[in-house]
Amino acid sequence: MSSARWGTPPGGRGTGRHATRALLAGLLLVSACAAPDDEPGRPGPDSLVRSAGAVLDRRAAAVRAHDPDAYLAVVDPRATGLRAAQRRELDNLADVPLSSWTYRITELTAQGADRATADVRLSYRITGYDSVPATADRVLDLRRDRDDGRWYLTGDRPDGDGGALLWQQGRVRAVRGMHGLVLGVGRPGGELREIARTVDRAVPAVSGAWPEPWPGRVLVLVPRTVEDMAALLGAPAADYRGIAAVTNARTGDPDRAPADRVIVNPQAYGALADLGRRVVLTHEITHVATRARTTAATPVWLSEGFADWAAYRAEHRTAVRAAPELAAAVRRGDLPDALPADEDFAFAGDAARLARAYEGGWLACELIADRWDEKRLRAFYRAVGEHRGRDGAVERALREVLDTAPGEFTALWRDHLRSRLG
């Protein structure tokens, strides 16, 4: 199952601040703009932009060099709590293989002569995985020391509803497999190695189900608890308590997006047997492999159903055992009238409805693979994703790839449910 969540800018800012933000944002974007000379004892906008940028440049260089002294040198000496937290955060990053780490100020607000707040876009790359930087929006508070005239960091927090970062939750341990990198916080090394081994088994299975070119490697995050998992996603923990893993990614062109992150819920994942763990990770890794062909035109039943089809393809599991909720519905005569709608896949909704939606999507994809063939199933997936917009995407692909129509396909699917689950 996949998930994408995006932060929103914090609200409630006064008119005066908005005016200052607009001026400073303009200076950031047009460096050749002339600015008035600074008043004595008070930084002008141009000076503030340069000073704040220099602080963040030094901080970024310290992260890349893993230099604790340089990292703390930009933190306010009086902010003892922040200094301790920042030192821990840098230590937590020690095992994370970073190929880049930069900051870009998007908006800057002066608050009197000696204080400012910067909205910042952190960009970083995990070596071997991110073809373009992953990003996180932060809000940083700055103070100018009147004795030495230098600017120092006094606060660092997420911007609005943005998610937390893994290394803010504790020391990151990295475990490398043949096909993946597992980054975990607060989890036993044996558990992380087991996940890496399961990834190594899952990646070839995914490539067998989806033979199109894809990176063939996966980045997996394993936080300490489901609460920490939800914090990474910027969502309530209640949405994920029964969810073993999600894929946090952007659909579309993978060359313009960072690597997908498969995020594991250690409690739900740990409760599964070996088969369940293989199915979960193979399912999520299928989302990684098919991401370039998954667009706004792709209905959830197809993206999730294909991922389940790929996960069960190499496993010996009966349909009744793999689809217990839908099997129970079929046995009591409650056969669905239509393929699952997108809203049926809501994590926070009815758990039984969610299970039936996944099971129905899987059996729709199984129907295509069985009645036509696997090659035609992949062609159908591609054809839907290539359509401009959701309207008509499935209908056109059914006609052009499978030579059928929505009503006929739904009837075939309902017959397939009776045959496989009755």
Its CATH class, for the domain covering 12-162, is: alpha beta
With b meaning 16 or more CB within 10 Å and e meaning fewer, what string describes 198-226? Answer: bbebbbebbbebbeeebbebbbbbbbbbb
Best CA proximity match to 331, nearest among 261, 398, 210, 418: 418
DSSP string covering 317-330, please? --HHHH-HHHHHHH
Per-residue pLDDT at 40? 44
- Count, residues in the chain: 422
Q: How many Cα atoms within 13 Å fall on the side-chain side of residue 217?
A: 17
Per-residue pLDDT at 162? 72
Residue linked to tokens 């969610």: 354
Q: Which SS3 state, helix, strand or coil, does residue 106 take? A: strand
Its CATH class, for the domain covering 163-293, is: alpha beta
Helices (H), 255-323: 266-270, 274-290, 300-313, 319-322
Long-range residue pairs from 387-394, CB within 8 A, at least 24 positions apart, any chain: 387/295, 387/297, 388/297, 389/296, 389/297, 390/296, 390/297, 390/299, 393/297, 393/298, 393/299, 394/299, 394/302
Judge contact between 212 and 293, C-beta under 8 A.
yes
Best CA proximity match to 330, nearest among 341, 346, 319: 319
The continuous run of DSSP H or E covering 411 comes out as helix 406-421
Taking the C-alpha atoms of residue 187 and residue 195, their distance in angstroms, rounded to an integer, is 11
pLDDT in tens, the chain (422 residues): 444 322 222 233 333 333 333 333 333 332 222 233 344 444 456 788 999 999 999 999 999 999 999 999 999 999 999 999 999 999 999 999 999 999 999 999 999 889 999 999 999 999 999 999 999 999 999 999 999 999 999 999 888 767 889 999 999 999 999 999 999 999 999 999 999 999 999 999 999 999 999 999 999 999 999 999 999 998 899 889 889 999 987 766 666 789 999 999 999 999 999 999 999 999 999 999 999 999 999 999 999 999 999 999 989 889 999 999 999 999 999 999 999 999 999 877 788 999 999 999 999 999 999 999 999 999 999 999 999 999 999 999 999 999 999 999 999 999 999 999 98
Per-residue pLDDT at 41? 46
pTM score, two decimals? 0.86
Domain residue spans of the chain: 12-162, 163-293, 295-422
Beta-bridge partners for 98? 126
